[in-house]
A and B are shown apart, each in its own frame.
Chain A
Amino acid sequence: MSTSATTFVPDAGQPSADHGHHHGHEQSFFFKYIWSLDHKMIGLQYLWTSFFFLFIGGLLAMGIRYQLAYPGVPVPLIGALLPSTVASDGIILPGGYNMLFTMHATVMVFLVVMPLLIGGFGNYLIPLKIGAGDMAFPTLNAMSYWLYVVSGIIILASFFVDGGAAQSGWTAYAPLSSTAAYNNNTQIGQSLWCVGLFINGLSSIAGATNYITTIINMRAPGMTMFRLPLSVWALFLTAWLLILAVPVLSAAAAMLFTDLNFGTTFFAAQGGQPLLWQHLFWFFGHPEVYIMILPAMGLVSEILPVFARKPIFGYKAMVWAMVAIGFLGFIVWGHHMFVSGMNLTLGAAFSVSTMIIAVPSAIKTFNWMGTVWRGSIEFTTPMLFALAFVSMFVIGGLSGIFMASTPVDLFVHNSYFIVAHIHYVLFGGSLFGAFAAIYFWYPKMFGRMMNETWGKIHFFATFIFFNLTFFPMHNLGLGGMMRRIADPTVYEHLRALQPINVFVSWASFGMGLATFIFIWNFIWSLRHGKPAGKNPWNATTLEWTVPSPPGHGNFDVTPTVYNGPYEYSVPGMQKDYLPQNEKAPEGARLEVH
């Protein structure tokens, strides 16, 4: 055990000691674990299911990297098991490769990052953090989860239909996606993709409605909007983005479906407009980027103060920066289309809004740095992931400036540079944030701590392999390597870069292996972890005032909130944190802000 673990001051006895005592009734297995209406169980269902899809999405990524390192060489071990649409004699087919990256992105975006951050942590934390007994609409909540499962099954099943899964990229640009004759006979797979995303969208919309209603109506007495923890703010704004952006994708998916199956021509070159798809997709797709990063920003903003023992720097600036990101996120979609054939002047306009949206992101970064400034920083595993999140987000943000500059986008568009960029934001950002959150809230969810030593090994392995995997992709992109090509060695100018591709692939395999450390730690700690008690991290927000795991209904007595969420190291106080539901003791010099 590391030193940090010995400093925990558990202020409650055994884990699960008072589990189930809050409301006397015992539930049957089915109602407790399957059709549960408890936000915590639904949150955990989201968590487990997204872990499963993370595994699938990761495997698909390994397939992509194998092909790019060794094009034309049979996949060892599992090659023979691959569907005939993906590989023949173990050799990945070009169309099969297209399937791999299409489904990797689809799975990671819609079945991993969104459900994990929004479904998992949103459901688990919102009621606990605002002092509510549950979500506003528990049944809708359960339905939202099960719609997600159905969408996942449909999307995975598409690998095994005639023609295989969709292979037009997760962006599904028409008319490649909308015309069966063009897309390598993946009409069924592409149609299932549309259906899957449509149902997934219903799940998101249902969840978002629930979050917004809950946060507006069910806050405990004293929990004003500006006393909300930043994670709740982030999820609140994310829910608004979902409700405004997802229906657009649903409509576009429905149109794509009818183009594919019923002879409509929404996105056809004749009688329709291929660029219409791109406008609709990116009108959803850009807010989507923020849908995936805002919750991670919120969760990280929650973790940094706890381990720096300092209030978050510039709480209101953080809130307004997120509001600005949410708003501006809807007027930057055209930056995906600078070189798509869209009007050139429009491109110039979108480049202005795109540069502007970088400002609130910069503000957030400076405030995170301000938070650790003059703190008393404890490097626990969740803190390490949260700190790394900030740095990785800085790299992802800075590389975005290259694309935001229209003339540079002429060069790096659709190259590996953008693959590097998106993974710094989505993996280094969203997933690092998710890992931080898992290590941080695991004790609350399961009543036990995760193993710190293995946690740190997992962190350093992931951090190093992540950078070895994705940083060289910037170089590949500048070297002129296109994304989404099944075999870079067919190009003269890329053949010299092949050693970098091989290096990147081996680094990614290392990153894949590192994840097993995490899985092992997660499972091992369920039974053998150190008992956590109510508040192992000495944190201030309301979820740490109830037992771990909290009983059905969360709070015996509805808490009353007296303080903001980040009152750490208040001068004139004995202990170095002031929970939100405790009145400041005599002599405490709280700063009014």
Chain B
Amino acid sequence: MLRLLPIVLLALLAVAPEAVAEVRESNLYWAPEAATVGAKKVDTLLNFIFYLTATVFVLTQTVYIYYLVKYRKRPGSKAYYSHGNNKLEIIWTAIPTAIFLGLVIYSNRLWAELHSPPPEDSVKVDVVSYQFGWDMRYAGADGQLGKVDVHSYSVDNKFGLVPDDPAGDDDFSSTELVIPVNKPVHIYLHSRDVIHSFYVPEFRLYQAAVPGRTIAWVWFEPTRTGNFELACSQICGSGHYNMKAPIRVVSQEEFDKWQAGKIEAKAQEAKAAADARALRTSTASTHPAGDGPRNEENKL
């Protein structure tokens, strides 16, 4: 224990200046407090299953231990000769079947609800996973995310944007997932290399990101502001244990401010790039390098 202390302290120091994700102090034996609408519904089901299984466990084990004590071998005790009872077999087949069918109906309804089409007014974020980190992409001023070709990720095109889709030109990127509270957030999940997964325990949400595919059905609505950690929860290589990104759930005003700042920065960046290009083309000989659409052959 003592040897561990310096490491914990060092680790705490290392992250101290940043906005720190929620530290758990109470109720350590149960799940962290739910932070989305869906998470609360999952919790209701989770608790239901917990009480159901706990009841079954306590009942069966009480009976079992009672039998073991009552029917222990004693001088003169003799076992009762019986090969079974068909009526009992039917009862203990039928009751679990009924319970399980009920449970599967409840589960599948919630499953369908959680995966219903995301609302129109959702904040859309493209989340791209890679060994070993996360890139987030938000729509720019046009409110439209540019189209993606899942096979054209490259060093220069880390979001796999389709070059001839103008909607992607003003998209801005972020290394943290910033989202407004009380508003649906629609996540598009991608991977540039191997399978990763988008896991946030407070959101009760796990979804694998599969390379070569777009996972477009994940959406949730945060119910409280706070700092969380996005974790990769699918073994993805030697850096897997540390593949995380900050999540900030903020008020709408704060989000708007952050978004406006990002859009502005992106515009500045684009302007600077255009200036540089203009300078290059005017000074150097005429060669339209780097301007044309890339990876044309890979387009879907």
Q: Chain A residues in contact with chain B, CB under 8 A?
A: 69-73, 93-95, 97-98, 167-169, 173-176, 179, 182-184, 269-270, 273-275, 308-315, 317, 339-341, 344, 347-348, 351-352, 355-356, 358-359, 362-363, 365-367, 369-370, 372-379, 387, 390-391, 394-395, 398-399, 401-402, 404-411, 413-415, 475, 478-480, 482-493, 495-498, 500, 502, 566, 568-571, 576, 589, 591, 593
Contacts and interface: CB of A to CB of B under 8 A. Distances in A.
A182 B194 CA distance: 7
A497 B201 CA distance: 14
Given A169-B235, A376-B73, A352 B244 contact: no
B111 interface: yes
B32 A493 contact: yes
A394 B28 contact: no
Given A169-B235, A182-B237, 10 more contacts: A175-B194, A308-B79, A340-B210, A356-B97, A363-B93, A365-B60, A408-B42, A408-B107, A493-B32, A495-B12
Nearest to A71: B7
Given A489-B7, A493-B32, A179 B239 contact: no
B96 A339 contact: no
Interface stretch (B45-53, B161-169, B264-272, B280-288): B45-53
A411 B46 contact: yes
B23 A311 contact: no
A406 B111 contact: yes
Given A344-B115, A475-B30, A502-B4, A339 B208 contact: yes
B213 A341 contact: yes
Contacts of B7: 71-73, 489
Interface string B205-246: 111111111010100000000001101111111111110100
Interface stretch (B64-72, B136-144, B172-180): B64-72
Nearest to A171: B235
A398 B201 contact: no
Interface string B66-89: 011001111001111111110011
Nearest to A591: B83
Given A363-B92, A413-B206, A98 B80 contact: no
16 contacts: A73-B7, A94-B238, A173-B234, A176-B235, A273-B212, A315-B84, A341-B207, A358-B100, A366-B92, A377-B71, A398-B57, A402-B46, A480-B201, A489-B7, A490-B11, A498-B8
Contacts of A347: 111
B71 A375 contact: yes
Contacts of B229: 491-493
B260 interface: no
A467 B110 CA distance: 33
Given A274-B195, A475-B30, A498-B8, A401 B49 contact: yes
Interface centre among A376, A394, A480 (most CB of B within 10 A): A480
Contact of A355 (B67, B84, B92, B100): B100
A176 B194 contact: yes
Contacts, number: 336
A490 B241 CA distance: 8
Given A308-B79, A480-B201, A407 B64 contact: no
A475 B31 CA distance: 8
A129 B24 CA distance: 56
A401 to B, nearest CB: 6
A374 B240 contact: no
B274 interface: no
B199 A482 contact: yes
Contacts of B234: 173, 414
Interface stretch (B14-22, B120-128, B250-258, B289-297): B14-22
A55 to B, nearest CB: 25
B273 interface: no
B80 A502 contact: no
B193 interface: yes
Nearest to B50: A402
Nearest to B209: A341
Nearest to A353: B104
A493 B22 contact: yes
B35 to A, nearest CB: 11
Given A352-B104, A374-B71, A492-B23, A311 B57 contact: no
Given A70-B4, A485-B240, A485-B241, A274 B211 contact: yes
Contacts of B213: 269, 341
Given A341-B208, A359-B100, A479 B32 contact: yes
Given A308-B79, A414-B197, A496-B24, A93 B46 contact: no
Contacts of A273: 212
Given A475-B29, A484-B235, A407 B208 contact: no
A471 B97 CA distance: 27
Given A411-B205, A570-B81, A351 B68 contact: no
Contact of A348 (B64, B111, B209, B240): B111
A405 B45 contact: yes
